[in-house]
Structure 1
């Protein structure tokens, strides 16, 4: 991917800063890549020179090649050179002033298995600014073990500004993560004026109009029933099914065409959060089937905020007595609420960028150091293919030591965060891991 030349933007509002953004822009998902596009453009309006971090999770590296996500990124996004591992990301500290994570479910641990709390920015130096922008935990409760939650609390304490996009996330920040200063803001796809999306839509094929539209990620009997009811009620001649980009690797629909279809449909049925977002942006009649496995809190938070709770069908709910699903949406009222929330969200981001970095205590610096060491110890070992025999031997040794190094730094960090019996427990475990590491090193050295 090549970096684009900078466009002339609006007058900088926060002064020149260099930022990198970490989110799911690469994940073969329309909402994810359009969220990244929107946030990058809005930061440019604030005068912030920014790049999306080009670090793909391993499961996505092959599917990403020649996908609609890669083609969109090459045409519209500014990205960093590619990174192969978490260890490589430490280099970003040399060029970036600000690290921004979000939006989307970046704080959901089950979505990032094997990447050592990557989106909590453990590889970032203590003197760099960290901002969570409309981040999501993806669930009403924190995932992971008690130790995982302690680490999340520790990582989040190092952020200079935290915002989430769901009320459940706001509650978790206040009640469990000691971030009562967290703010609730809108997903960045809402930040551009609706007309700004025309820049992309103009690059789509000029197709049909006045059709029904479905965009369902997890098709089942409930979604089929809602789609059939909507087709009957609106009496359209044709229904376009946009399918599921996450499951169908051969899908050819571009993000531009995806936007075109939503803007020009007569109504939309979806179980996608961002599908519902763009139906709202383009003022379309829509029905949303709650997708509990992917996270229902985000739907409820957004719809409650905008007075659209009647558009949601929850799991197991029948359509009997749900005439409200087909009532005309008062978009004049919705747009008024939306405009106020957009202004507040933009203002939050500008203030987060303007806010000076707080001085770091020695304890904070030491905690950041241990978090970084844990991250580096846990980074994935690259493939041994096409490497020299000597490099192969070095990496095999690293692979043998890696589990113990991860446990050592994890237990050492937990010992610093806990008290009493728990602290003694983690100190003992850390000491045990250190002994095993030393023993393994001796064995490996003798086997050279």
Structure 2
């Protein structure tokens, strides 16, 4: 069976890359023929021009290398929804998911692509762990929302990653999706990245937002744990910190998997800390995207690893204790099996 997947596959964010890889890996291991629909989101920043220029070439080169090594084949490049509608990928099934693919603030003019509004109506459509990344729907145009409702009702199977997404679907579009795990959880391991690694006495920091609070209190975290910090995603070398930019996917995965402690504000930073049984602390950014992390740690009983700021974290001692992963592994395994069965059943019903 031929499956065409659309997601945010082209990104400097390693979490976005790994959720793409995770879903493709799971489906390919089950024997399906997978193709990525090559629609790319712009990742604009407010950085100086020379920084943008350097990142364009260096990050672009790194991304191309990772795609060549880890991704399945890509379709032709689509620059608009209209191009996608005029020449849709040939497949038995379209799948959309997972990372904030239904967030209009991100998808913008490509929004309809991620609602699978292209291709023959005879091609089956599945949503796997699609995320809105917002708690309230921002589009008020009645005709747009009616079209989204129509599309959702045409899906063979509809699922979301967060409970807020389920509630949003029920309240705005009159459909009730299933809540499943992020696709990175579908695979039992990622030995192709982590085989043979040994724990290192380092703190790995994968923090998307480097706030004043972070720079003020990170040295205190170093002192408390007596370990150096490696920063995986900062544009410039910083005195007092080990530095890698841009890390390859290999390096990013091996760094998280081998760390003694992970400090992050990233959903996938938390996910791969859990999958690799690493001690971690997660810092909230106080925006709608926090719901992803809050949902996950609450479900696994790890909410004591979640803090509003580094300052708050340092006022507590819970983050210094080892996580008892044995106590939550049965719950993780149960949810993984439920998510795997949902997706395979959806595909087999085609």
Task: Report if TM-score (shorter chain) is over 0.5.
Answer: yes
Tell me which of 189, 193, 205 is aligned to 1:200: 193
**TM-score for the superposition, normalised by structure 1:** 0.68
Separation in 2, partners of 1:190, 1:226: 32
Please list the CA deviations of residues 391-420 of structure 1 after superposition, one character each: whole Å capped at 9, or x if unmatched: xxxxxxxxxxxxxxxxxxxxxxxxxxxxxx
Counterpart for residue 17 of structure 2: 33
In structure 2, distance between residues paired with 1:116 and 1:212:
38
Alignment partner, residue 130 of structure 1: 125
- Does structure 2 retain, via aligned residues, the 8 Å contact 1:226–1:269? no
After the TM superposition, which parts of structure 1 deviate over 4 Å for at least 4 consecutive aligned residues? 91-94
1:313 aligns with 307
Does residue 160 in structure 1 map to residue 172 in structure 2? no
Against the structure 1 CA distance between its residues 225 and 347, is the aligned structure 2 distance closer, same or farther, given a 3 Å change threshold? farther
CA deviation after TM superposition for structure 1 residue 198, in Å: 2.2
| TM-score, length-scaled by structure 2 | 0.86
**Structure 2 CA distance for partners of 1:320 and 1:76, relative to 1, 3 Å:** closer
On the 8 A contact 2:23/2:184 being kept in 1, the answer is yes
Is 1:210 equivalent to 2:201 in the alignment?
A: yes
Is 2:217–2:310's contact at 8 Å kept on the other side of the alignment?
A: no
| Equivalent position of 1:141 in the other structure | 136
Corresponding residue for residue 50 of structure 2: none
Q: 1:111 to 1:244 in 2, by over 3 A?
A: farther
Higher normalized strand content (fraction of residues): 2
Structure 2 SS opposite 1:219: coil
Q: Which residue in the other structure is 2:273 paired with?
A: 279
CA deviation after TM superposition for structure 1 residue 94, in Å: 6.1
Deviation at 1:152, TM superposition (A): 2.9
Deviations 1:341-361 (A, max 9, x none): 1111100000111224xxxxx
What's the CA shift for 1:45? 2.4
Q: Tell me the SS of whatever aligns to 1:218.
A: coil
In structure 2, the CA distance between the partners of 1:169 and 1:315, relative to structure 1 (3 Å rule), is farther
Map residues 6-21 of structure 1 onto 2, 5 A cutoff: 17-21=1-5
Mapping of 1:17-96 within 5 angstroms? 17-57=1-41, 63=56, 66-78=60-72, 79-90=74-85, 93=88, 95-96=90-91
CA distance, structure 1, for counterparts of residue 267 and residue 98 of structure 2 = 12
> Structure 2, unaligned stretches of length 5 or more?
45-52, 236-243
Q: 3-state SS of the aligned residue for 1:135?
A: coil
Counterpart of 1:54 in 2: which secondary structure? strand
Cα distance change, pair 154–133 in 1 and its aligned pair in 2 (3 A): same
Q: In the alignment, what sits opposite 2:232?
A: 242
Change over 3 Å in CA distance of 1:66–1:318 after alignment to 2: closer
CA RMSD of aligned residues (A): 2.5
Name the larger-Rg structure. Answer: 1
Q: Does 2:317 align with 1:333?
A: no
List alignment gaps of at least 5 residues for structure 1. 1-16, 357-448
Give the conservation status (yes or no) of the 8 Å contact 1:93–1:128: no
For 1:226 and 1:332, how far apart are their aligned partners in 2?
Answer: 31
Paired with 1:342 and 1:322, the residues of 2 have a C-alpha distance of 31
The CA deviation at 1:118 is 2.0
Alpha-carbon deviation of 1:70?
A: 1.5
1:94–1:187 CA distance, 2 compared to 1 (3 A)? closer
Q: Is the 8 A contact 2:4 2:89 kept in 1?
A: no
